[in-house]
Amino acid sequence: MNSPNTPPPPSQNTGRWFGALGLTALAVILAVVIVIGVRATLLYEGRLAVRDDARDANLRVAMLAARTVGDDVATCAHALDALGAAGHGDPSAQVSNCMAQFGDPANATSLTDVQAVIMSEAGEVVYEALPSIGCLDLRFAQLIVNAHRQSNSDALSISTSAALCPASAGSGLLMTHSIRRDDGAFAGVGIVTLDARYFSRQFAGLAPGAKGVVSLMRNDGVVLVASTAAGTTVASDVPLMVVSAKAPAADDSGADGEFLYVRQPLPDLPMQIEIRAPRSEIYAAWRERAMWVGGLTATLGAGCLILAVLLRKQRKRRYAAEAELHRMASTDPLTGLANRRTLDETYDREWRRSVREHAPLALLFIDVDHFKTFNDRYGHPAGDDALVAVSHAIGHTIRRPGDFAGRYGGEEFMVVLPNTDANGARDVAERVRGAVRLAAIAHEGTPHGHMTVSIGVAATGVMPTGTPEALLQAADDALYTAKSSGRDRVCIHATSGGAPCPAI
């Protein structure tokens, strides 16, 4: 039985509400995804821009340092090249440009950043610039001479060591070059040292951030001098090695672990400037901005989801309210069965379906016997309770899903039985009558001592004819016959194949 207080079928509600709710949820999700995608793209592009800006800035610094240091060091390297042929020219004239590059030649005491020495093949000093401030570790100088004699190379060698001048302020860069006679025989070594204080001044303030590093390195990757925010240090005792003058391409940049670096070669020298910037410092501002943007985007997404949830709850409440209104509008408030309007709509719908499908349709008209007497004897509240009990008996008897029961008015009820002939309708009517008797509602104003009902039955044939009003009138006439024949009985209308109501 379809109870009138049941909400509309789920399929109808799903179709009515899921469409709007689904579209709303889809729109919210799509909007959140788009916002997150746009924000993520902008943040990623911003990160790339930060990286490129840092790389460009460090590259400009590297180019400046390479030009400054390269000009000074290249002057001394050229001087060593000029000393490569023994006996050609005055050594002091050949290294004068190198010495002048680091100070005022008129003030010899100020020239502490550079020292030039020429060693013979026997390891003896044959020339020393600024001897008043120079110093020499003869054992280390002999090692240099021996190394060049064995290498038989005329290329520039670059290393670091404090052993050449241990009494100076610190170690420095060591550049050496073999000297040859006219016949090509080894004649000695030209040595130029650059004090670490020179690099401290040149690299001061160039290191990016607190952990950045500015380095002077050979082309084979060996770091010679490294400068940070804390100061400049020279690598200890880098081995003497002939390094190819072929430098890497300019703007050689990349990533190495926690650092981003750029490298700039020194012109005509087997060395390069490298600047390493820590990623943590490069992306610090971007990371803070990303956290703000991510937090705001997450808040927006959460807000949209919360709104979607609230909208879903609101729609549920609206659906429940509409279902309740539908129940109230279609249900008799006393008995809980369908009201007269719903009965009329259901009967009209079932009649049209019966005609369309050529199926029989039956009606039961049910009237409570001696109900006015019951009200007069027991009062109207008791009468209402009796009607509720009768409606329960009817509702529990109607078992098929298509059967429909409702209160027609006052103490009258009607049952619509689709696809049921007169005999089947009579069986249902008898079960209803028996259920009311079993309810044992006391009624001393009747011969039976309890409440009873009279039921009129009318049904169409397999091919329904006539009008729905005629079938309704036939059921009402059958009810009148049942009541006039003694009540507490079921009567079938003659047009439905009924016989005179049997005596009970």
Contact 394, 337 (CB under 8 A): yes
Backbone phi and psi for residue 364, each to the nearest 5 degrees, phi listed first: -120, 125
Alpha-carbon gap, residue 158 to 240, rounded angstroms: 6
Domains annotated for the chain, with CATH where assigned, are 50-282 (no CATH), 340-496 (3.30.70.270)
Averaged pLDDT for residues 16-32: 68
Which pLDDT score, from 0 to 100, does residue 1 have? Answer: 46
Query: Is the confidence at residue 475, as pLDDT, over 90?
Result: yes
How is 286-331 classified by DSSP, letter by letter? HHHHHHHHHHHHHHHHHHHHHHHHHHHHHHHHHHHHHHHHHHHHHB
Query: Is the confidence at residue 8, as pLDDT, over 60?
Result: no
Per-residue pLDDT reduced to its tens digit, 43-71: 889 989 988 998 999 999 999 988 888 88
What residues contact 99, with CB distance under 8 A and at least 6 apart?
Answer: 105, 111, 114, 116, 129, 130
Residue 294: pLDDT band by 50, 70, 90 thresholds?
A: confident
Contact 416, 408 (CB under 8 A): no
Per-residue pLDDT reduced to its tens digit, 404-442: 999 999 999 999 999 999 999 999 999 999 999 999 999
Scanning 83-132, the segments in alpha helix (DSSP H) are 91-100
Q: Is the dihedral of CA 145, 147, 152, 158 positive or negative?
A: negative
> Closest Cα to residue 363, out of 312, 307, 426, 308?
426
Alpha-carbon gap, residue 378 to 69, rounded angstroms: 119
Lowest mean pLDDT among 55-64, 130-139, 392-401: 130-139
Strands 213-218 and 271-278: antiparallel
Alpha-carbon gap, residue 346 to 418, rounded angstroms: 10
Most confident of 105-119, 138-152, 482-496: 482-496
Averaged pLDDT for residues 64-79: 86
Residue 479: pLDDT band by 50, 70, 90 thresholds?
A: very high
Strand order in the sheet with 223-228: 231-234, 223-228, 213-218, 271-278, 259-265, 252-256
The first and second tokens of residue 331, run together, are 């249900």
Place of tokens 């469409």: 19
Residue 178: pLDDT band by 50, 70, 90 thresholds?
A: confident
Alpha-carbon gap, residue 306 to 313, rounded angstroms: 10
Lowest mean pLDDT among 281-285, 410-414, 455-459: 281-285
Query: Is the confidence at residue 81, as pLDDT, over 60?
Result: yes
Query: Is the confidence at residue 387, as pLDDT, over 70?
Result: yes
Query: Is the confidence at residue 458, as pLDDT, over 90?
Result: yes
Query: Is the confidence at residue 195, as pLDDT, over 50?
Result: yes
Per-residue pLDDT reduced to its tens digit, 88-103: 667 777 777 787 777 6
Which pLDDT score, from 0 to 100, does residue 120 have? Answer: 84
Name the average pLDDT for the chain: 81
Which pLDDT score, from 0 to 100, does residue 427 have? Answer: 93
**Side chain identity, residue 208:** P
Query: Could you tell me what percent of the chain has a pLDDT over 70?
Result: 83
Lowest mean pLDDT among 166-180, 242-256, 426-440, 457-471: 242-256
Lowest mean pLDDT among 107-111, 323-327, 453-457: 107-111
What is the pTM (predicted TM-score) of this model?
A: 0.56
- Exposure on the CB side of residue 244, measured as CA atoms within 13 A: 6
Place of tokens 């060091």: 73
Query: Is the confidence at residue 143, as pLDDT, over 90?
Result: no
